[in-house]
Structure 1
Amino acid sequence: MAKTDTERLDDLEILAAHQAQMLDDLNEVVVSQGEVIADLRRKLEVLTRRFAEAEERMRDAVPVDKPPHW
């Protein structure tokens, strides 16, 4: 039996409500992931700087001479 216009409209309103809720949920996930990415970028910048500093210290500390077995 075919649905009435009222039933079809009700179904569409329910579908729209579910989709609106899904969009809100997905938006929360995107915002949360954006915060995580920003935090990871900050940590990567710190680690990159520390690595570069450690490399510089090692370059200054290690002699350039060949090992004795050469």
Structure 2
Amino acid sequence: MTDSDSARIDALEMKIAHQDEVIEDLNRTITAQWSEIDQLKKAMATLFDRLHHAEGRLAATAPPEPPPPHY
């Protein structure tokens, strides 16, 4: 093996090591984002349920609204 071949192999090994680090960093980022998305979905579902119940209570207790005068 020549010095040129050895240098090329070293460069490839360094490149692969760097790519492994980048892939692992991207994996951590994506995992964190999915966790946050799951939390946000749960919060949205809770807010939707609260709004639905509030609208139901408001409709049950509010008298019917009279039509506007220009009707």
For Structure 1 versus Structure 2, the TM-score category normalised by the shorter chain is: 0.7 to 0.9
- What residue identity is the alignment partner of 1:7? A
Structure 1 residue ranges without an equivalent (≥5):
none
Q: Which moved more, 1:6-15 or 1:59-68?
A: 59-68
Give TM-score scaled by structure 2 length.
0.86
Structure 2 residue ranges without an equivalent (≥5):
none
Which residue is 2:13 aligned to? 13
Give TM-score scaled by structure 1 length.
0.87
Percent of residue pairs identical:
32
What is the aligned-residue RMSD (CA, Å)?
1.7
| TM-aligned CA deviation for residue 65 of structure 1 | 3.6
**Runs of at least 4 residues off by over 2 Å:** 67-70
Deviations 1:14-67 (A, max 9, x none): 000000000000000011111101111111110000000000011111111406
**Where do residues 1-70 of structure 1 align in structure 2 (5 Å cutoff)?**
4-66=4-66, 69=69
| TM-aligned CA deviation for residue 6 of structure 1 | 0.8
